[in-house]
Amino acid sequence: MDGPMRRGYDQLEASLQAVIPSLEQPPKAILVVSAHWEEAVPHVSTHLAPPMLYDYYGFPEHTYHIRYAAPGSPDLGLRVRDLLRAGGMDCREDTQRGFDHGTFSMMQPIRPEADIPIVQLSVLTSFDAAAHIAMGSLLKPLRDEGVLVLGSGLSYHNLRAFGAQGHTASHAFDQWLRDNLAGVEAAPRLAALERWTTAPAALQAHPRPEHLLPLMVIAGAAGQDPCSIQFHQDDFFGGLAVTSFRFG
């Protein structure tokens, strides 16, 4: 989208544009853990040329004709499947799924050239934090193989209390996230994420935690690498505090 509304996302857009230039070299492929794909067991996309999945409603007509033409990577999809299965976690292939908006809206500023292969990975309908951390841990070898692992979600996701209504809850929960992740060693930050429901305003910030779960996978994949803040804004969407984190 463009126009005045877009200006509220300038800081976020700039942080996304900085992702690949900040790496030592561009990734060979990207694995996106998407909050917009929920399955009972992990599913991974293996479409060679993923179509578009417009998984939203009520937006301007042109947003249903957006194209992000990056290729898929069946080989990476199978590698993800094999790593999870080798670790005792079932994983299924999905040969049909296209890019959902959690992927293409994020990837457009990250890589407008759309020339890096992208594979999507689902979160689990169990919403179990430890299972998502374990999933990430099993996928850690991908990082040494030139794969950038991105978690696409939101640190506050209560659509019934969005904008100014969510100010108090989002600031309380977001502060807890920053205190327990940024600059914190791996063991205590993972322990904190496993008990996220005890955090201040946790269930107000995430009545359904699907938008928090990609962070669990990324934290698991990080191993011992340090965590820092990639993006933070206190007045996102009219009053929310939101943060994205970088590991490594």
Q: Quick one: average pLDDT of 141-162?
A: 97
Alpha carbons within 13 angstroms on the beta-carbon side of residue 119 total 26
Q: Average pLDDT of the chain?
A: 97
Q: Quick one: average pLDDT of 154-177?
A: 96
Alpha carbons within 13 angstroms on the beta-carbon side of residue 54 total 11
CA 233 to chain centre: 17
What's the confidence (pLDDT) of residue 143?
Answer: 98
Give the chain's length: 248
What's the confidence (pLDDT) of residue 79?
Answer: 98
What is the tens place of the pLDDT at every residue in 109-133? 999 999 999 999 999 999 999 999 9
- Count of Cβ atoms closer than 10 Å to residue 55 Cβ: 13
Mapping DSSP to helix (H, G, I), strand (E, B) and coil, where does residue 37 land? Answer: strand
Q: Quick one: average pLDDT of 61-65?
A: 94
Instruction: For the domain made up of 4-247, give the CATH fold.
Output: Protocatechuate 4,5-dioxygenase; Chain B (3.40.830)
Q: Quick one: average pLDDT of 133-144?
A: 98
Q: Is the pTM of this model over 0.95?
A: yes
pLDDT at residue 1 tops 80: no
pLDDT at residue 8 tops 90: no
Q: What angle do CA 202, 208, 213 make, to 5 degrees?
A: 80
Q: What angle do CA 139, 224, 222 make, to 5 degrees?
A: 35
pLDDT at residue 246 tops 80: yes
Q: Quick one: average pLDDT of 133-152?
A: 98
What's the confidence (pLDDT) of residue 153?
Answer: 97
